[in-house]
Amino acid sequence: MLEKLNLERKLANDEFKRILPGMQRRLYELEKACWDNGVSSLVVFEGWDASGKGGAISLLTGRLDPRGFKLYSIELPRTFEQHRPWLYRYWLKVPNRGEMVIFDHSWYTRVLRKRVDKLIPEKQWRAAFQDIVDFERMLADDGTVIIKFFLHISKKEQKKRFEKIAQDPLESWRLNKEAWRQHQQYDEYLVATEEMLERTEAEFAPWTIVEATSRGYARKKIFDTVIAALESRLGDKAPPPAELSAEAASHDADLREAMDSLERHGAANGEEN
């Protein structure tokens, strides 16, 4: 499945920056409507290291009301968590009514990293597929909107990004032996990812595979998917898109100018665009 994707899809940076403020404004409107109507949502980000998950999440939440969402970055379980049912730590983080919860990595660690690195027996990661489907079904049956992303880049593109990060003194801390080791295991992770997508795809919790070579294209696809899912769930309770006033247009122009300034500063310091 992943090998057949067209990873050359692109969106020009100028075009993405032009439409970003409008997408952020629309997502804010929907966040408020979900809060007012008690609609909870759960957004899961999985994908390759350096595929752009962090940057996408930053833009997605950039203009949201911080009272309406929570963000969790998931690492391997702590010692005390290993003595509880494996989904326990995720149950503690599911959204309240009207709230959005975003996971940077999630329960899928069990069928990806733990599987490939042989941190648990095969019997456990195989059983986890059904645990995950049951977990997500229960949340969906309770009314939670579930949106799952997998950001996909090629092994060649990942290496290119790693090398660029390694040359940046402000960013090189992000790379360690573990990241490079996982890069060498790309093909093993690819097999595990294919099975994960196949066995956990569901109408109530669908996967959206994001072609992430072009950051602009990937980020627009993520915004479009989240906005469409929330509008669909809200139905006639979804607010109509607000008309862009002269004041809002001026604010958007200021925001784009600030983004351009940050991009120029990042480029001067060797950061990945």
pLDDT in tens, 25-44: 999 999 999 999 999 999 99
Q: What percent of the chain has pLDDT over 70?
A: 89
Q: Which of 127-136, 151-160, 165-174, 201-210 has the lowest mean pLDDT?
A: 165-174
221 or 260: which carries more pLDDT confidence?
A: 221
91: phi then psi, degrees, rounded to nearest 5:
-60, -35
Q: Which of 11-25, 145-159, 203-217, 248-262 has the lowest mean pLDDT?
A: 248-262
* CATH 1.10.10.10 is held by the domain 2-264: no
Predicted local confidence at residue 248, as pLDDT? 58
Predicted local confidence at residue 54, as pLDDT? 95
pTM: 0.89
Q: What are the pLDDT digits (tens) for 161-189?
A: 999 999 998 888 888 888 999 999 999 99
Neighbours of 149 (CB within 10 A): 24
What is the chain's mean pLDDT, rounded? Answer: 91
Q: What is the dihedral of CA 171, 109, 226, 13, to 10 degrees?
A: 30
pLDDT at 272 over 90: no
Instruction: Look up residue 162 and give its amino acid.
Output: F
Predicted local confidence at residue 259, as pLDDT? 53
Structural domain spans, the chain: 2-264
Predicted local confidence at residue 244, as pLDDT? 61
pLDDT at 155 over 60: yes
Q: Closest Cα partner for 59 from 105, 13, 98? A: 13
**Could you tell me how far CA 108 lies from the centroid of its own chain?**
13
Long-range contacts of 194-197 (CB under 8 A, 24+ apart): 194/1, 194/2, 195/111, 196/108, 196/111, 196/112, 196/129, 197/1, 197/2, 197/150
Q: Which of 63-67, 138-142, 143-147, 171-175 has the lowest mean pLDDT?
A: 171-175
Predicted local confidence at residue 210, as pLDDT? 98
Q: Answer yes or no: are the C-beta atoms of 73 and 105 closer than 8 Å.
A: yes
Q: Answer yes or no: are the C-beta atoms of 60 and 222 closer than 8 Å.
A: yes
Model confidence at 271, pLDDT cuts 50, 70, 90, reads very low
pLDDT at 206 over 60: yes
Predicted local confidence at residue 267, as pLDDT? 46
Q: What is the CA radius of gyration of the chain?
A: 19
